[in-house]
Amino acid sequence: MMPIWPITRKACSTCSRHAGINLLWRDNDGGCKGACDRVPHTDMTQWKLDTFCKDQSCIDDRQPLPS
């Protein structure tokens, strides 16, 4: 009997790559905790988006941060 392996974030990124799906992880809050280790990634907190980022964290939606 074949073992059933749990699907993890790393396995999903590997499967996506084999399926021909290009992924880009946009980190918006200081770390991906290993989830983006196998995919290209960029740190949005370095983009100088003052309207959306504050204290090394960027909001996920399109509404600007409150003043």
Q: Parse the chain into domains and list their residue ranges.
A: 9-58
If phi > 0 it is left, if psi is from -120 to 50 it is alpha, else beta; for residue 33 that is left
Q: What is the pLDDT of residue 66?
A: 63
Q: What is the pLDDT of residues 10-66, one digit of tens each?
A: 566 777 777 888 888 888 887 788 878 878 888 887 887 787 788 878 877 766 556
Is pTM beyond 0.85 here? no
Q: What is the pLDDT of residue 5?
A: 55
For residue 40, how many other CB atoms are within 10 A of its CB? 9
